[in-house]
Amino acid sequence: MADNGYVLLRHREIPDLDSLEVYRKHGGFQALEKAVTRMKPAEVTEVVKASGLRGRGGAGFPTGLKWAFMDNQIWPHYVVANADESEPGTFKDREIMEGNPYQFLEGVAICAYAVQAHLAYVYLRGEFWQIAERLDSHLAAMEAAGLLGERLFGSDYSLRIRTHLGAGAYICGEETAMLESLEGKLGQPRLRPPFPATFGLYGKPTVVNNVETLTNVPRIIEFGADWYRSMGTEKSPGPKIFSLSGCVNKPGNYELPLGTTFRHLIFECGGGVPEGNSVKAIMSAGASSSLIVANDQALDTPMDYESVPNVGGQLGSASVIVIDSSVSIPWLINKTVHFFRHESCGKCTPCREGTFWMGHLTQRILDGTAKPEDVDLLYDVGGQMRGKCLCALGEFSIEAPRSSIERFRSEFDLAPSQPKTAVDQG
């Protein structure tokens, strides 16, 4: 059975887990060996399917199903690990790659075996330059130990893993934009279908999975689907790393079972909000979130893929930004809209123009130069964008402004005279 406690952030219990020797001493690479020597590739996929693991990057798509979609008529296959972590409020993959890198890399290797890829890439955001350097040395250590390269564990299976650095573009976290970027092109999303399982990297079938998703895999192979399903909820099994930030006393990453309540995360783990303020709103999917009104019903809602929508939000990558009573909502919306306007890749018109004009409107509202109808216009621009953008960036950019106009309308009518935030009044 697994050690008690952490499944993912095991480095918090085991010192020096980023050394190959220590990782192997704690059972590291036994799951890969088991998969490669004693399981057929399809069996590995079946176990992951049975575990109910869902993608931790935000979409929550069943991981085993994604692997099973790979087109076996077209070869070679590739695996790309999404380490582009760029959603404001998300900082979990970074901790995994710094603290427990081998479990992540073992997950990449098991995924690659399951889909019979012989080359896998880890696509890291450019700012993770130091992490990429460390991963390169971890990969070299694995090659030296025979855990990567030709004929793994005496089998016919061979695998190489390489890192690739992006260069500061949020859009490259979108899987098809990431593949374009990895091919040496502008990081702009592709029209889908075809999906990467058919037409991915270099036009070949490709699995793209988030770092946290892949880090679950070695433990699932080692201890089985039933063990994994003993954590979390029936439809959202397993542990999740919640990145807690914003107006909270103890921000940080918290590994908890899916289905833990917002109240537990914010008050038990995060020590509540500073200076006796109250929680006004919660953004549980980073800047891509709707603003959930933080009433008792919301605070007692389990954080899983099914329940969060019931209170008007999304779980997403579980980057929980806490907004307290000192924060001006129009100021906040101007921040998130400005982010998406900067990061829009420019390929599709609804997103390029929509984020641009939303940015104008939120700035006017904040500056006090808005016309009375500008708040409605902002809401309307968002509505016009909905369902028309090429990828999720544009679709998500409207969540915060639209939901906040619906739920915090009175603040917009008062906007010009309001302070920014408690901390930034200076």
Partner 1 sequence: MLERKYLAEKYPQEIQNILDKYPAEQRRSAVMPLLYLAQRDKMYINREDLQEIGDILGITLTEVASLVGFYTLYYDQPKGVYHIQVCTDLPCALRGADRFLAELCDRLGIQPGETTPDGLVTIEPVMCLAACDKAPMFQLQSGAGLTYYENQTVENALSLIEQLRKDASGRRVSARERGRDGNG
User: Which residues bind to partner 1, rule: CB under 8 A?
Assistant: 85-91, 93-94, 119, 125-130, 133, 162, 164-170, 181-187, 202, 243-247, 251-253, 287, 319, 321, 323, 327, 332, 335-336, 339, 342-343, 345, 420-421, 423-424, 426
CB 282 within 8 A of CB 298: yes
Which one, 201 or 375, has the nearer CB to partner 1?
Answer: 201
Gap between the Cα atoms of 140 and 324, Å rounded: 46
Closer of 245 and 260 to partner 1 (Cβ) = 245
User: What is the residue whose two structure tokens read 């990061």?
Assistant: 343
Residue 216 or 245 with smaller CB distance to partner 1:
245
Rounded to a whole number of angstroms, the minimum distance from the CB of residue 120 to partner 1 is 12
We find the least distance from the C-beta atom of residue 288 to partner 1, in angstroms, to be: 11
Closest distance to partner 1 from the beta carbon of 69 (Å): 23
Smallest gap from Cβ 397 to partner 1, in A, equals 13
Using the minimum distance from each CB to partner 1, give the nearer residue, 39 or 122. 122
- As measured in angstroms, the least distance from the Cβ of 17 to partner 1 is 20
Identity of the residue, 220 or 318, whose beta carbon is nearer to partner 1 in the bound complex: 318
Per-residue H/E/C for the chain: CCCCCCCCCHHHCCCCCCCHHHHHHCCCCHHHHHHHHHCCHHHHHHHHHHHCCECCCCCCCEHHHHHHCCCCCCCCCEEEEEECCCCCCCCHHHHHHHHCHHHHHHHHHHHHHHCCCCEEEEEECHHHHHHHHHHHHHHHHHHHCCCCECCHHHCCCCEEEEEEECCCCHHHHCHHHHHHHHCCCCCCCCCCCCCCCCCCHHHCCEEEEEHHHHHHHHHHHHHCHHHHHCCECCCCECEEEEEEEECCCCCEEEEEECCCEHHHHHHHHCCCCHHHCCEEEEEEEEECCCCEECCHHHHCCECCCCCHHHHCCCCCCCEEEEEECCCCHHHHHHHHHHHHHHHCCCCCHHHHHHHHHHHHHHHHHHHCCCCCCHHHHHHHHHHHHCCCCCCHHHHHHCHHHHHHHHHCHHHHHCHHHCCCCCCCCC
Give me the least distance between CB of 393 and partner 1, in Å please.
13
Shortest Å distance, C-beta 299 to partner 1: 19
Cβ 35 to partner 1, closest distance in Å?
25
DSSP lists the bridge partners of residue 322 as 246, 282
Residue closer to partner 1 by CB (options 63, 344) is 344
* 8 A C-beta contact, residue 396 and residue 290: no
- Closer CB to partner 1, residue 51 or residue 253? 253
- Please say which residue, 222 or 399, places its beta carbon nearer to partner 1: 399
Amino acid at 48: V
* Minimum CB distance to partner 1 smaller for 191 or for 423: 423
Question: Smaller CB distance to partner 1: residue 120 or 221?
Answer: 120
Q: For residues 296 and 279, give the distance between their C-alpha atoms in angstroms, rounded to a whole number.
A: 10
Q: What is the smallest separation between the CB atom of 34 and partner 1, expressed in angstroms?
A: 29
Q: Contact, 81 vs 108, CB < 8 A? A: yes
At its nearest, how many Å lie between partner 1 and the CB of residue 121? 8
Residue 116 CB, shortest distance to partner 1, in Å, is 16
Select 140 or 414, whichever has its Cβ closest to partner 1: 140
